[in-house]
């Protein structure tokens, strides 16, 4: 068995299972071994009742009576009564009526879940059920939890991986030079894959993961280095008038730019008038005013007869920017053509927009990835702006920039990446930072609480909705996991609907939905038709809803601080006071880490503090920088590995800038795969 062996050859994988794996993009043994667990579970020992109220624990309880299923207001609710001596626990499951067949009155089982106190009684919602011997067996290992799709279970993936490693003839190619592995104490690739899928303990998991993260960073940075070598500094062919047009627009704005905005605008104006094309990354927190600077630059180019384009990651955001630009033009007395192009437009409308883009001089063009499709031809494109660059990728930016004579490039990102890491990741760009927020912004009020505060949070959301506002609730999982005790959007939305009045409209959103479905859900929330949106981090970018005043994050300890700060930026965009509630289900140490969010609203400070606090094994949970395109690596959690990989890539590129003398066959093959991977990201 080798990496190209089809999954159908794996023992126990039938046609139905193979079809399910293919939905996950897993077609071969290599795909399977590159489909990494998203988390791991270490089950606790069976505890004494009730020593850990409010925390995850395992209790050995006798079932009293027959479990019952009743129809609630919006779903089926199954209940049973568990007893430990004199203590009674009310066991509750939502939409899991099959539990009744698993439990027999008078029998004892291990129930694994979160114990909460309700008055004088105790309850566990959605607990896992085990026979005692099965639970003790599960405790002896770290259980991998894989991201799954409908019809595929994490246990199926784990079984398939086990069969792969049971094959004595398994052959996995090594793709890093031996001397490089020795320098950085990296285990062989086959060992690393075994360690990440079947870790004996946390130490082994850390060792295997380090090797695979290094590999991912290393090939990414080599690919970036090649791109930089091929592009270099391009000559600026766009001549602009020196007539103070932009300065006059700034004077007409109904608000003052911050000092940071003024500084960054000056840097970008200098770029536009310089000998070489602009290649700049603009970083700034959500709400720091990046969009107005992009508009001013685009207006300057329209004034000079050139086109500009703004590319954003979602259709909803593109439509919002379009409306914002029209409003700004009206305020400033401008009449430059503003054209919106998105992928969901009907064929006739899309064709007309493409015609306008090809023929309209000085147009400000706004759109999604539809802007770099082959049928779109610009008329003298001078500036390409990509918003939330990490959602697109290097080659997508390159594709947009090639829609005419090489234009100026401005990349805008609200991701708070510390400068040292940004220089490594965006080595081909100059970097500007907006490090202050407008003065009229009301600071968001934050609180970090445990699960006992959840009911109060529901009441608070109900109160805010009654006042005409909206709320987000963020969960780390899409659907309930077989082993992972964390909140998921599907179950949580159902539970929340039970707790809130019928007048409160609750919907959920996650990344596995189709593009059209996601757009529809976001549009409904933006229009105020949905009161509470339960979502994964997919809402990190995509919509601007000034009416949303509450952000509640479940299992907050599973997110990095920089990711939580990004999520917090979804509220506080309007005139009303906004609030962020972080529900911590972890230990006191994790609570201290979350408290940093109470001390500062500065994303770069928070990201830097997060880097200091991270240990080598502190990577489980929701990855913060997954949107940068890495499969396993995370720039915050793996900053030291990123730096080491950067040094190695730099050394190789200095000796051989075009990598034309590499004799390592596997390294060459991996480089080709990296180029193909980057190219595939052009098709969103």
Query: For residue range 627-682, what is the model confidence (pLDDT) as tens digits?
Result: 456 888 888 788 889 999 999 998 888 887 777 666 555 566 666 665 455 444 33
Are 450 and 409 found together in one domain? no
| 391 pLDDT higher than 60 | no
Task: Tell me the per-residue pLDDT of 467-520, one tens digit each, with 9 for 90 and over.
Answer: 999 999 999 877 655 555 567 888 899 889 989 999 999 999 987 788 788 888
Start-to-end C-alpha separation, the chain: 32
Residue 272, φ and ψ in degrees, nearest 5: -65, -30
Are 477 and 404 found together in one domain? no
Percent of the chain with pLDDT over 70: 86
Lowest mean pLDDT among 224-233, 291-300, 316-325, 478-487: 478-487
Residue 31 lies in a domain: no
Which tokens belong to 649?
């890539």
Higher-pLDDT residue of 604, 645: 645
Residue 577 lies in a domain: yes
Report the predicted TM-score, pTM, of the whole model to 2 decimal places.
Answer: 0.73
542: left (phi over 0), alpha (psi -120 to 50) or beta: left
For residue 323, what pLDDT is reported?
Answer: 94
Percent of the chain with pLDDT over 90: 43
Find, among 93, 61, 96, the residue nearest to 79 by Cα.
93
Task: Tell me the per-residue pLDDT of 37-56, one tens digit each, with 9 for 90 and over.
Answer: 988 888 889 987 666 666 77
Higher-pLDDT residue of 420, 207: 207
Lowest mean pLDDT among 142-146, 384-388, 553-557: 384-388
Residue 18 lies in a domain: no
Secondary structure letter of residue 98 according to DSSP:
T
| 540 pLDDT higher than 70 | no
E strand or H helix at 238, and its extent?
Answer: none
Higher-pLDDT residue of 657, 11: 11
Residue located via tokens 């380090």: 210
Q: What is the SS3 assignment for 657?
A: coil
| 304 pLDDT higher than 90 | yes
Q: Is 116 exposed, middle or buried (0-12, 13-18, 19+ CB in 10 A)?
A: buried
Give the span between the Cα atoms of 417 and 263, in whole angstroms: 20
- Which CATH number is 404's domain given? 3.40.50.300
Among residues 600, 635, 664, which one ends one of the domains? 600
Residue 14 lies in a domain: no
Are 383 and 458 found together in one domain? no
Q: Where are the alpha helices (DSSP H) in 253-289?
A: 259-272
Inter-CA distances, 451 with 96, 340, 472, 489, 585, Å: 22, 45, 17, 17, 6
DSSP for 281-322 reads EEEE-TTSSHHHHHHHHHHHHHHTT-EEEEE-S-HHHHHHHH
Among residues 600, 635, 662, which one ends one of the domains? 600
**How many separate domains does the chain show?**
3
Mean pLDDT value across the chain: 85
Among residues 600, 633, 653, which one ends one of the domains? 600
Residue 66 lies in a domain: yes
Are 538 and 591 found together in one domain? yes
Residue 624 lies in a domain: no
For residue 232, what pLDDT is reported?
Answer: 59
Residue 646 lies in a domain: no
For residue 680, what pLDDT is reported?
Answer: 41
Are 379 and 469 found together in one domain? no
Mean pLDDT over 116-127 rounds to 84
Lowest mean pLDDT among 152-166, 226-240, 308-322: 226-240
Residue 36 lies in a domain: no
Are 111 and 250 found together in one domain? no
Higher-pLDDT residue of 453, 617: 453
Confidence band, pLDDT 50/70/90 cuts, at residue 91: very high
Find, among 278, 376, 375, the residue nearest to 365 by Cα.
376
Query: Residue 134 belongs to what domain range?
Result: 56-139
- Which CATH number is 109's domain given? 2.40.50.140
């Amino acid at each position: 068995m080798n990496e190209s062996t089809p999954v159908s050859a794996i023992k126990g994988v039938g046609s139905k299972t193979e079809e399910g794996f293919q939905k996950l993009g897993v077609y071969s043994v290599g795909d399977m071994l590159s489909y990494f667990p998203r988390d791991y579970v270490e089950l606790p020992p069976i505890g004494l009742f009730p020593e850990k109220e409010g925390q995850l624990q395992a209790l050995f309880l006798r079932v009293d009576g027959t479990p019952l299923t009743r129809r609630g207001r919006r779903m089926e609710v199954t209940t049973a009564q568990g007893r430990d001596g004199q203590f009674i626990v009310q066991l509750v499951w939502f939409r899991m009526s099959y539990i009744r067949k698993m439990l027999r009155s008078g029998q004892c089982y291990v129930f694994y879940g979160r114990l909460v106190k309700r008055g004088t009684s105790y309850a566990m919602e959605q607990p896992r059920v085990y026979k005692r011997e099965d639970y003790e067996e599960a405790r002896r290992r770290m259980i991998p939890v894989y991201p799954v799709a409908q019809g595929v279970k994490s246990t199926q993936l784990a079984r398939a991986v086990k069969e792969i490693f049971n094959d004595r003839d398994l052959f996995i190619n090594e793709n890093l030079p031996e001397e490089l592995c020795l320098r950085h104490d990296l285990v062989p690739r086959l060992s690393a894959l075994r360690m990440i899928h079947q870790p004996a303990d946390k130490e082994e998991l850390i060792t295997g993961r380090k090797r695979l993260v290094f590999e991912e960073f290393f090939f990414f940075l080599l690919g970036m280095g090649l791109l930089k070598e091929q592009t270099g500094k391009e000559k600026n062919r766009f001549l602009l008038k020196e007539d103070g047009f932009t300065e006059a627009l700034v004077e007409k704005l109904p608000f003052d730019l911050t000092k940071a905005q003024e500084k960054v605008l000056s840097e970008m104006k200098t770029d536009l008038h310089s000998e070489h094309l602009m290649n700049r990354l603009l970083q700034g927190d959500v709400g720091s005013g990046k969009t107005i600077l992009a508009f001013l630059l685009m207006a300057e180019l329209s004034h000079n007869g050139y086109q500009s384009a703004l590319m954003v990651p979602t259709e909803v955001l593109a439509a919002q920017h379009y409306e914002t630009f029209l409003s700004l033009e009206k305020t400033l007395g401008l009449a430059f053509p503003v054209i919106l192009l998105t992928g969901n437009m009907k064929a006739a409308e899309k064709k007309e927009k493409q015609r306008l883009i090809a023929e309209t001089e000085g147009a400000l063009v706004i759109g999604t990835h539809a802007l770099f499709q082959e049928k779109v031809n610009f008329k003298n494109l001078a500036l390409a702006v990509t918003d939330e660059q990490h959602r697109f990728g290097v080659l997508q930016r390159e594709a947009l920039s090639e829609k005419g004579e090489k234009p100026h490039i401005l990349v805008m990102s609200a991701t708070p990446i510390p400068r040292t890491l940004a220089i490594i990741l965006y080595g081909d760009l100059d970097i500007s930072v907006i490090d202050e927020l407008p003065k009229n912004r009301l600071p968001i009020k934050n609180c970090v609480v445990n699960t006992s505060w959840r009911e109060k949070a529901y009441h608070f959301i109900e109160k805010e909705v009654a006042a005409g506002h909206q709320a987000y609730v963020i969960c780390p999982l899409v659907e309930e996991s077989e082993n992972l005790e964390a909140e998921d959007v599907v179950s949580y939305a159902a539970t929340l609907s039970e707790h809130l009045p019928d007048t409160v409209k609750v919907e959920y959103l996650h990344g596995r939905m189709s593009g059209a479905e996601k757009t529809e859900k976001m549009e409904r929330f933006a229009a105020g038709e949905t009161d509470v949106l339960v979502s994964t981090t997919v809402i990190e970018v995509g919509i601007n809803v000034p009416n949303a005043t509450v952000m509640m994050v479940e299992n907050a300890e599973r997110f990095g601080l920089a990711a939580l700060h990004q999520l917090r930026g979804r509220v506080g965009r309007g005139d009303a006071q906004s609030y962020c509630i972080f529900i911590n289900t972890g230990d006191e140490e994790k609570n201290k880490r979350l408290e940093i969010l109470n001390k500062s609203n500065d994303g770069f400070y928070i990201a830097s503090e997060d880097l200091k606090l991270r240990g080598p094994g502190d990577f489980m949970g929701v990855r913060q920088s997954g949107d940068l395109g890495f499969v396993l690596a995370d720039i915050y959690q793996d900053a030291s590995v990123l730096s080491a990989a950067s040094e190695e890539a730099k050394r190789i590129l200095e000796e051989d800038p075009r990598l034309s003398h590499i004799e390592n066959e596997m390294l060459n093959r991996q480089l080709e795969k990296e180029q193909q991977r980057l190219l595939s990201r052009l098709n969103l």
